[in-house]
Amino acid sequence: MTPDLNEPHGNTGNRNNARDPEGAENMTSKILFFCYPEEKSAWVRAAKPEKLSAWIRRQLNQATGRPERPDPEEWRQIRK
């Protein structure tokens, strides 16, 4: 029996993943890098109770002396 393609599929997905994190409306760039499992485990423990991505972003911003929630115009001036 072939499925009727006009009917809804019924898969609604994970609703928790449907939203971006709060305040992430302008965050469209991604960084991907490889690390050792031991490094990631140490970072996850250090980040608690914060999420790892928020902790990494805060650490990188502190290292560059940038504010936690930068003004996009200020960052555009730096890139020029």
Confidence of residue 28 (pLDDT cuts 50, 70, 90): confident
Determine, yes or no, domain membership for 72. Answer: yes
- Number of structural domains in the chain: 1
Identify the domain containing residue 75 by its residue range. 38-80
Q: How far apart are CA 58 and CA 51, in angstroms?
A: 11
Q: Is 73 helix (H, G, I), strand (E, B) or coil?
A: helix
Residue 59 in domain: yes
Task: Fill in the DSSP letter of residue 68.
Answer: S
Question: Would you say residue 78 has pLDDT above 70?
Answer: no
Question: Hey, what are 54's tokens?
Answer: 């928020």
DSSP 64: H
Establish if 75 belongs to a structural domain.
yes
Using CA atoms, how far residue 74 sits from 13, 26, 42, 79, in Å, is: 38, 14, 33, 9
**Does residue 17 lie in a domain region?**
no
Read off the pLDDT of residues 30-70 as tens digits, 9 standing for 90 and up: 899 999 999 999 999 999 999 999 899 889 988 988 766 66
Asked if residue 25 is part of any domain, the answer here is no
